[in-house]
Structure 1
């Protein structure tokens, strides 16, 4: 499956790239699909940010993203790096004290806020101390109306973006009015970017939502749900790795990841996934094989009687094929995740004992029996046990698939 996002350049007065606005699409057709804005924002965050990374879509330029009332009040912006994103408050958002408190808190955390398609309504004046950018659709107002509003807010330190600029004559005239940034078909139409999408299983997501709705979170139960789904695991770690989540710790197990997030961030993550309304598609063979490897590596670690290794080994196997799933080099994908150095080294270079587990899985899958015997001897694991472990891992993954848990 693929995800789609359109990006449109925002330029400076000297026509250099200042940043990009990202717009949700559901195909290469460059029109906004018939879905609610909440869903559109959530899809960009889950399918673009948590999978590929917004920075790869914008070339590390500023990213402008639309946020609705619900996504703002649920603090979805805080999963993003405040240094690289501008939070656009949609014109359809209802003005409220709760929204004002949210904007004040986001501003305090270092986020830049923008009023999108601003209509000059005085009801927004109370928000202006927290607003960095105002976007004006120049097709909706005449020059006199725009000039009058600009004079009213002059001196407030707010940047003005002219949207839907279609001619050079408009561009030059708007510069004289005080606009510093410009967006429109005169410069560039939105270009659609296609990315591989990690599909979530709907039943797993429902189970996750059910767990999140309980008064006391059961990390053990949530961990068991997440460990069955490569997509959930990957997006969980991407969420943790975002600067907005404040992560600075390397992760060695899913339970560790869940505990590190804390209840508030974990519920936010689940809410984000639920709101995205992701449809479950047929599980790809690569995802099934990832689960087989995860369980196989876990069993190898248990055989060696190291209590710290099974969860670490499970994660190593789980993400061993994520490069093939996303069509990106492993070195590029693995560094997006807050994984222990040993896991990253195993995934990228097949180094260390975790690398040996992966090589053993590969040699067994490919029927390279001499290499399997050699690695078994190196790890002090009997060949008979290896056959048993792989059969059990295969049976575990097949059971998950047969019962609709994948």
Structure 2
């Protein structure tokens, strides 16, 4: 499943980029779907901003985001950065005292507001002290009638933004009339953007992966998470039941199971389960390869006597194919996770104490035997059988049923 949106640039009088209007889409067809505007705004924020970040979509320029009545009254805009967001009040929003209060509060919090498709209706006068942009659709209000209309705005101190500008002639006429900003096909059509869509459950799983990178685990917090998810609980018990974890006594509770595993193995479990749930079911081999890499990196550090780095090495191997699994650039994905610089350096550049084991894994997979042996000589005792470690990793990945 993918998330879609379109962005249309907005320019100033010098035709310098000011920002983008972000337009919700639900398919590769570049048109607004037949859904409630409040739902469109909610999905735009949840599918794009909460994970991906609107600032990346706009290149840190202003983001003009449409808001319908309910999303304004319930203060949805406060999830966005007021320094980089312009809140567009849709033309379908009726004026009310509740709207006036909401706009005043948003203005006091530092947000810029825009009236979309401004119709020069006197009912909006009470809102003007809080408005930074008036967007005028020149298809609905032709340029020929604008001089008289604009005369009504002598006391307005914000910026005039012309929408649906389609020619050089229109652009020149609007400049003479005093418009400050411009948007339309003359400059650029809306540009479609697509990325792999992550639901709330998946974003929660990414948070679990981040938890696996913490120096100390909060067992009570993890128990609460597990208790709300039967699938996670079952998988934890199945993980402990594997042949790699011999136990003398039966497990009595989830916390007992976690304590029995210990922090190091529990971190591995969290990473395994989170990534397996994030992965597309059509990509089982990518997931299996991630698990093989994780186990191999873990065993390499164990053989090297660097036990303090084992759990980090495991996580590094697990995340090494995250970009392929989620179809997003790895650097952008890692910016969403509070991972150590050591792990990020390893994943992005194969550098640092975790980068060398990961590079050894990559060389082994690609049959670069000379480079593999060179790294093995640097990292491992002379009698280490790298092939046996890799076969162990394959066996371990095959046994897990996550």
Distance 1:320 1:79, change over 3 A: farther
The structure, 1 or 2, with the larger RCO (C-alpha pairs under 8 Å, 6+ apart) is 1
Q: Which residue of the partner structure matches residue 92 of structure 1?
A: 92
1: CA distance, partners of 2:37 / 2:310: 42
Aligned positions of 1:275-314 closer than 5 A: 282-284=281-283, 285-286=285-286, 289-290=289-290, 293=293, 306=308, 312-313=312-313
Match in the other structure for 2:242: none
Cα deviation code 1:201-255 (max 9, x no counterpart): 78768999xxxxxxxxx852686699x99xxxxxxxxxxxxxxxxxxxxxxx9x9
Identify unmatched segments of 5+ residues in structure 1. Answer: 209-217, 230-252, 257-279, 401-406
Distance 1:17 1:372, change over 3 A: closer
Equivalent positions of 1:255-334 (< 5 A) are 282-284=281-283, 285-286=285-286, 289-290=289-290, 293=293, 306=308, 312-313=312-313, 315-325=315-325, 330=330, 334=334
> In the alignment, which of 195, 198, 201 is matched to residue 196 of structure 2?
198
Q: 2:380 aligns with which of 356, 377, 397?
A: 377
CA contact (8 A) 1:113 1:133 kept: yes
TM-score (norm 2): 0.63
Query: Secondary structure of the equivalent of 2:354?
Result: helix
Question: Per-residue CA shift, 1:73-113, capped at 9, x if unaligned?
Answer: 56554454433332222223455566555544443443322
Residue correspondences, number: 338
Shift of 1:24: 2.7
Counterpart for residue 358 of structure 1? 358
Q: Secondary structure at the match of 1:113?
A: strand
Per the TM alignment, residue 135 of structure 1 is displaced from its structure 2 partner at its CA by 1.0
For 2:222, which of 209, 220, 223 is the aligned residue? 220
Once residues 335 and 281 of structure 1 are traced to their aligned partners in structure 2, the CA distance between those partners, rounded to angstroms, is 21
Whether the 8 Å CA contact 2:300–2:380 is kept in 1: the answer is no
Tell whether the 8 Å contact from 2:196 to 2:327 is kept in structure 1 after alignment: no
5+ long unaligned stretches in structure 2: 207-219, 233-263, 268-278
Q: How does 1:105-120 map to 2 (within 5 A)?
A: 105-120=105-120
1:157 equivalent to 2:180? Answer no
Give the superposition deviation at 1:152: 3.7
392 and 189 in structure 1: CA distance in 2 versus 1, 3 angstrom threshold: same
Partner of residue 253, structure 2: none
Distance in 2 (CA, whole Å) between partners of 1:88 and 1:109 is: 16
The within-5 A match list for 1:1-400 is 2-49=2-49, 53-72=53-72, 75-93=75-93, 95=95, 99-142=99-142, 146-147=146-147, 150-193=150-193, 195=194, 197-200=195-198, 219-220=221-222, 282-284=281-283, 285-286=285-286, 289-290=289-290, 293=293, 306=308, 312-313=312-313, 315-325=315-325, 330=330, 334=334, 338-359=338-359, 361-362=361-362, 377=380, 391-396=395-400, 399-400=401-402
Distance 1:91 1:348, change over 3 A: same
1:2-46 per-position Cα deviation (integer Å, ceiling 9, x unaligned): 544323222223434332222233444332233333443344445
Give 2:276's aligned residue. Answer: none
Cα deviation for residue 133 of structure 1 reads 1.0
1:348-375 Cα shifts (integer Å, max 9, x gaps): 2223333245346546656778689658
Q: TM-score, normalised by structure 1?
A: 0.62
Alpha-carbon RMSD across the aligned residues, in angstroms, is 4.8
CA contact (8 A) 2:163 2:183 kept: yes
The worse-fitting range, judged by mean Cα deviation, of 372-381 and 71-80 is 372-381
